[in-house]
Chain A
């Protein structure tokens, strides 16, 4: 069973190309992903939806080069991730992660938290501080630079995490249930921020979500069910059923 994209132009090299990817656990007894294929173009806003246990997080780990597929390959700008000599560098420079539970360091201020990924970048200490300030301004937290996470609302914490994810100007932002721990108002604020980043900065966004309101903001939704791509749906447009 497989899902494939039919509407990518032949001249375009997709930013991320997932080709017949399988991921199993426990010596193959648990099949988390089965022959999954799809691609994401630069500047796209894609939602990945599916019920719990459908393989969404496994897919996110593979897209973020945190894990390796058992079969198939994932290509970034045409190059297989398996062939990259330094996945740490790839993650640092190319991927920005936004976690459901933020993973902010409680003893660091917002300004300091945003600088964490920059240790693997080229900036010196002063430039790191300046960039972190700019990013916090971008996410609307210029007045919260010196606040530790405990002094921030949950919505503000997720904004700090988003600013942190943008620290090294990644090509792709991977968000795992970014509104899962937020109330509806804060969640909407985060989604507005994603819209803004996508629209104004052309950030490529891949968001894993349970929420239809999140998917509604994306340009495309990839539905995963039982480890397979079930549906590819362009928002307000065509639906392609992939699973047989």
Chain B
């Protein structure tokens, strides 16, 4: 028999209480895994939008709290294309719209030039791609088309104006699958941003070479002091939306963690204090204080372990459900990032230690003779 066996069997004395505590903990872990997972997936998917297109730098106007509200001129794109060490340069305008009738509140709208390679790289599932000369036409991502119930030939209302759906496409990106593509001219008109794009994604020549990227970055930023050319990962991490998502997920996770810790503390405190004389007997038999503390900590960690397994599974189910719920399916990928699992497990361990600390420390200070005294 190991000390852990005693801890495990102690938890079986009050199976309902142990199960409820583990369930509370599982809910906290599930919340952490789901929130951190969504935030992680949000960020990694966004980064993939750039990296999978071979982009090395994102060029945008400096400052400002909301990146979507800023713009750079099309002329800047021409200047970048003319720089030595510049490879492919793709400019695009981006906005967010809502389809309130369908409970879709954060749908990305991209405006691309007709020759933009992005339009060539998505897979056309139905209809055709946007072409030069299309006016008031859109392509819908596969998920958005399904959520809106639209197909080529239908009309969809964007910016309170009817747009003709010419095609339905599929992309590697969850965002693009939930997005609207239209030609740049149309979007500039809708956003009242003539001659502007939100930014450029720029490939260095040779692509991915750090020295070439650094050199190109300096050259681009020398064009206009108001312009920042930022490596993709750095750019994505600096996005306010990402920061807010990350902070929100951590704040909610911290609250969930605190609630889980209180739940486990309550259970452990009740469990230890109702076994006071029994633990006193252990001390009488020569058990050292630290061994009693370890026993209490093991019970707490076992509860946390059970809660973690259920919680990780619950978090995965939550992410899967969000990825398939029409309201969020255009924003959330269905995968479970390993980091979210690790963070959920780590926080469960923290909850277990916090929950065990008070009863364990209180008991550590209690003399065996006091513990043995009934009542």
Measured CB to CB, the residues of A under 8 A from B are: 61, 64, 66-67, 88-93, 95, 97, 99, 101, 103, 105-108, 111-112, 115-117, 119-120, 125, 128-129, 164, 167-168
Contacts and interface: CB of A to CB of B under 8 A. Distances in A.
B286 A168 contact: yes
A119 B3 contact: yes
A164 B287 CA distance: 13
Most A CB within 10 A of own CB, among B5, B285, B291: B285
Given A108-B9, A116-B6, A119-B291, A91 B286 contact: yes
- B interface bracket (residues with beta carbon within 8 Å of A): 20 to 34
Interface in B354-372: 367-369, 372
B278 A103 contact: yes
A108 B284 contact: no
B6 A105 contact: yes
11 contacts: A91-B283, A91-B284, A92-B287, A95-B286, A105-B10, A105-B278, A112-B1, A117-B287, A120-B286, A129-B1, A168-B286
A88 B287 contact: yes
Interface string B272-302: 0000011001111111110100000000000
A116 B282 contact: yes
A128 B287 contact: no
Contact of A67 (B5, B277, B367): B367
A167 B291 CA distance: 18
Contact of B285 (A67, A106, A112, A164): A164
Nearest to A164: B285
A66 B1 CA distance: 26
A93 B3 CA distance: 19
Given A129-B1, A168-B286, A103 B281 contact: yes
B52 interface: no
Contact of A119 (B13, B287, B368): B287
Contact of A116 (B12, B285, B288): B285
B284 A120 contact: no
Contact of A117 (B6, B286, B369): B286
Contact of A105 (B9, B289, B291, B372): B9
B281 A91 contact: no
B2 interface: yes
Main secondary structure of the interface of B (DSSP, over half): helix
Given A106-B13, A119-B3, A88 B278 contact: no
A120 B10 contact: no
Interface in B1-51: 1-3, 5-6, 9-10, 12-13
Interface of B: 1-3, 5-6, 9-10, 12-13, 277-278, 281-289, 291, 367-369, 372
B13 A107 contact: yes
- 7 A-B pairs with the lowest CB-CB distances in the bound complex, closest first: A92-B286, A103-B281, A107-B9, A117-B285, A91-B286, A66-B369, A120-B286
Nearest to A86: B288
A97 B368 CA distance: 13
A88 B282 CA distance: 10
Nearest to A92: B286
A93 B285 CA distance: 9
B10 A107 contact: yes
A66 B366 CA distance: 12
A101 B277 CA distance: 10
A91 B1 contact: no
Most A CB within 10 A of own CB, among B5, B10, B281, B291: B281
Contact of B281 (A93, A99, A120, A168): A99
Contacts of A117: 285-287
Contacts of A89: 286
A70 to B, nearest CB: 14
B272 to A, nearest CB: 14
Contacts of A88: 283, 286-289
B1 A61 contact: no
A107 B13 CA distance: 7
A30 B288 CA distance: 30
B286 A93 contact: yes
Contacts of B6: 105, 108, 112, 116
A67 B369 contact: yes
Contacts of B287: 88, 92, 116-117, 119-120
A128 B10 CA distance: 20
A31 B90 CA distance: 92
B93 to A, nearest CB: 67
Given A103-B277, A105-B9, A97 B285 contact: yes
A122 to B, nearest CB: 13
A97 B284 CA distance: 7
A168 B284 CA distance: 13
Contacts of A93: 286
B32 to A, nearest CB: 31
Contacts of B368: 66
Contacts of B282: 116
A101 B281 CA distance: 10
B89 to A, nearest CB: 69
A106 B6 CA distance: 11
Contacts of B1: 108, 111-112, 115, 125, 128-129
Contacts of A64: 284
B47 to A, nearest CB: 50
Nearest to A94: B286
Contacts of A111: 1
A92 B278 CA distance: 16
Contacts of B12: 107
Nearest to B284: A97
